[in-house]
Amino acid sequence: MFTPAQSRTKTVAIKPITVPTSDRAMPLQVKVTAPAEGRGLPVIVFSHGNAWSMDGYEPLVDRWAAAGFVVVQPTHLDSRRNAIGFDDPRFGTIWRVRIDDLHAVLDHLDGILAEAGDLIDRADATRVALAGHSWGAQTVGALLGARVLDAEGAPGEDFSHDGAKAGVLIAATGTGDSLTPFAVEHLPFMRPDYATMTTAALVIAGDKDQSKMSTRGPDWFLDAFDLSPAPKRLLVVPGGEHTLGGIAGEAVSETSDTDTDRVALVADAVTAYLLDALDRDPDAWSRFRDDTEALEKASFQHKD
At 12-45, the pLDDT tens digits run: 999 999 999 998 989 999 999 999 999 999 999 9
Strands 123-133 and 28-35: unpaired
Cα distance between residue 158 and residue 268, in whole Å: 31
Tell me what pLDDT residue 274 has: 98
Specify the pLDDT at position 297.
Answer: 79
Distance (Å) of CA 147 to CA 13, 129, 156, 197 = 33, 19, 6, 8
**Residue spans per domain, the chain:** 11-303
For the domain made up of 11-303, give the CATH fold: Rossmann fold (3.40.50)
11 — phi, psi (to 5°)?
Answer: -125, 160
Looking at residue 6, what is its pLDDT? 52
Q: Please tell me the pTM assigned to this model.
A: 0.95
16 vs 115: CA distance, rounded Å: 10
Low-confidence ranges of the chain (pLDDT < 70): 1-8, 292
pLDDT tens, residue by residue, 127-143? 999 999 999 999 999 99
pLDDT (0 to 100) of residue 294: 73
pLDDT of residue 100: 98
What is the predicted pLDDT for the residue at 250? Answer: 83
